[in-house]
Structure 1
Amino acid sequence: MITPDLESGTKLWHLVKNHDHSDQREGDRGSKMVSEIYLTRLLATKKFVDDLFETIFSTAHRGSALPLAIKYMFDFLDEQADKHSITDPDVRHTWKSNWYYSDISRMPAISDQDMSAYLAEQSRLHANQFNSMSALHEIYSYIVKYKDEILSSLERDEQAKRQRLRSKLEQVIDTMALAS
Structure 2
Amino acid sequence: MKDKSMTKAITELYLMRLLSVKGTLQQFVDDFFHSVLCSSVGPPAVKYFFDFLDEQAQKHDNVDDQTIDMWKTSSLPLRFWVNILRNPHFIFDIHVNEVVDASLFVIVQTFMDACTKSERKLSRDSPNHKLLYAKEISTYKKMVEDYYKGIREMVPVSNQHMNTHLAKVSRSHTGKLSTQVALHQLYQYANKYYDVIITSFDEDPAAQNKQLALRLQQIVAVLENKVTDP
Calculate the TM-score normalised by the size of structure 1. Answer: 0.49
Higher strand share: 1
Whose relative contact order is higher, 1 or 2, with alpha carbons under 8 Å and at least 6 apart? Answer: 2
Normalising to structure 2: TM-score of the pair?
0.40
